[in-house]
Amino acid sequence: MSETADAGPFAEQQRLFELLSQDTRHLIVQELLGHPTHLMSLAELEYMTGKSQAAINDQLETLIDADLLARYTHDPSEGTRDLPSQFYGFTERGVEILHEYKYLRGLPVARALYENTRKTEKIERHESAPRPELPDAVADALEFDEPDLE
């Protein structure tokens, strides 16, 4: 019998709650939700979370190992100076879990916070860099209608 099965029916819920509630991981998830493409470079995550790249990398690996996030590569940008080629974004399992834990209801607020954050020239360059497409199921789950401000 697996350790999770031995721990009872709520073990997986508790594991996911702990995974999502750790400070740096929580910030990463919130920033990815707010980003217009839901794909961010390491430099963007560092700037937006205020955490070091080392701390972010550790937590990204944890989220990737848990299949909540994936590393997406934009091959044409590889080796291009000043343009990122590696991005981090949600997986299908990741958006399912975010939906289950009601994170997706916060998309409009996360987007507003992201858009109202002042960014450096480097971060604006990263933000506008070409990036790969998210899988359709992930992109569809993260879509929301922005309110008409007329």
Residue 116, in any domain of the structure = yes
Q: Residue 134 and residue 145: Cα distance in Å, rounded? A: 18
| 2 pLDDT higher than 50 | no
Residue 108, φ and ψ in degrees, nearest 5? -60, -40
Residue 150, in any domain of the structure = no
Residue 149, in any domain of the structure = no
Q: How confident is the model over 28-74, as pLDDT tens digits?
A: 999 999 999 999 999 999 999 999 999 999 999 999 999 999 999 99
Q: Residue 45 and residue 63: Cα distance in Å, rounded? A: 14
Residue 21, in any domain of the structure = yes
- Give which of 149, 87, 86, 110 is closest to 26, Cα–Cα: 110
As to burial, measured by CB atoms within 10 angstroms (0-12 exposed, 13-18 middle, 19+ buried), residue 79 is exposed
Residue 147, in any domain of the structure = no
Residue 29, in any domain of the structure = yes
Residue 6, in any domain of the structure = no
Please report the beta strands in the chain, taking only residues with DSSP state E, as ranges in sequence order: 39-40, 69-73, 86-90
Residues 6+ apart with CB under 8 A from 149: none
Q: How confident is the model over 79-118, as pLDDT tens digits?
A: 777 789 999 999 999 999 999 999 999 999 999 999 999 9
SS3 90: strand
Domain that residue 60 falls in:
11-140
**Domain total of the chain:** 1
The CATH number of the domain holding residue 44 is: 1.10.10.10
